[in-house]
Chains A and B, each alone.
Chain A
Amino acid sequence: MKTRFWSILPGIVVILSVAMLSMKDIQKGENIPEDVKEILSNSCYACHSTGAKAEKAVKALDFRKWNDLKATKKVGLLNSISEVVEEDAMPPEKFLKKYPEKALSGEDKEKILEWTKKETAKLME
């Protein structure tokens, strides 16, 4: 019985560390505030997340890989996000014609812009 425990111990250690690491990943993912994430997942993720059909859009910005990005890349993308949101360039008109419920409301836009501003300031500290 005792030897058996010792033989599975390495396995337990591995499983626990993997679990801890993935927990850490999840925590890292929390740096997009919940309310903003909700807006993004409603209006942006359809094209800008891993697995979406819009290859070019995923390549330009993949929100699921947000945490793996370098700080400079994040600042660059945050700036682009704020620009396209301000100019109503995104989500594209064509997309909105098909899915009008995915349009950004004035409040949504404000929340996104507040986030991009705050996050940029944080990254540039």
Chain B
Amino acid sequence: MKYSIFSLARNALSWHEHWPLAWRSPRPKARYDAIIVGGGGHGLATAYYLAKEHGLTNIAVLEKGWLGGGNTGRNTTIVRSNYHLDPNAHFYEFSLKLWEGLSQELNFNVMYSARGVLNLVHSPADMDASIRRGNAMRLNGIDAKFLSRDDIARWIPNLDCSPEARFPIVGGLLQERGGTVRHDAVAWGYARAADAAGVDIIQQCEVTGIRIDKGAIEGVETTQGFIATRKLGIAVAGHSGHVAAMAGLRLPIESHVLQAMVSEPIKPVLDTVVTSGAVHFYISQSDKGELVMGGDLDFYNSYAQRGNLPTIEHVVAACLALFPSFGRLKLMRTWGGIMDMTMDGSPIIAKLPVKGLTMSGGWCYGGFKATPASGWLHAYTIARDEPHPLNAAFTLERFAEGRMIDEKGAGPYAWAH
């Protein structure tokens, strides 16, 4: 069923009791042309684009829990493409362009809100780096605008722009097309569209082993039995290393926990996304009114999907240094998600050294905004058996070849990116 004003009106007349299910819950078939492991935004997008762009419809998405129950539902919903290095800039800009048309593409309102992403600048060195990055973005055809402290003070009155601030603000780099997207709707929209194209979405089906014969994929062992396939795509974020190990691979990835939190809901006070690299903090206000914020990793390997109090304290302290007026608010919820931190801070969207095996992972902090492009390019790589120019640099081999894509120049420490 196509969602529209007419379907809404028709269903209103029957008291909204007869809406069809948005997707089926089939039993797995014995064999698929391609299987995607992971029913988050990335896996569902991969299946959707495989069906839509490449005509493969005998596809399954296997999810061990429920759709979007991992990092798709745990991120802070920010989308942007304000990167410095060419491979990242082109990749994330492709993603942002897909975001801009995604609600129409999927016939599902993902609530893309181009409210802008503002990176605050706190020092002359910070300013040099920001202007350099802004110039690199503009040379790559991406919008970027440098704002003075006075511009920012006029726009965001509750941000402490005074010289007495703990970390005085001297300016900011703004990407106006950046903003937020409702993350659950991304999983649901892709699931519904993929299902309509014939993709089997199988929840409560955990992959427990990968069967390989003579260096080629034969299928997967799951909690619902063996399923045969020649093409297997891994899109499991924080568990990339865990699933790749089933194929005998070690990855240049460590799993770390990243926390996020929301305040109680309040009336509109902040109409953009504000971030600060200096204090390691980002904040926006959800449509429900909660202030959504986050900061650093907890800085130790973790699969726990929850973190510890010192990091929460750090995030809240950074929040109050920038927005003193938020000090009266209550924190309503905190949670954690598992980041697949690569050794250079950039993703891996590539064929792996087993025939028929691919992955899209290593998302570090940045997986949500990459969702559409990750799915699009992962699907291309699976269908064509070769990478697209936009993901050609995001190989697994780049680490051995010395072709790192290290945006921050932080070096091979997974938790430093």
Chains A and B belong together in one complex: no
Which of B's residues lie within 8 Å of A, judged by CB?
none
Which of A's residues lie within 8 Å of B, judged by CB?
none
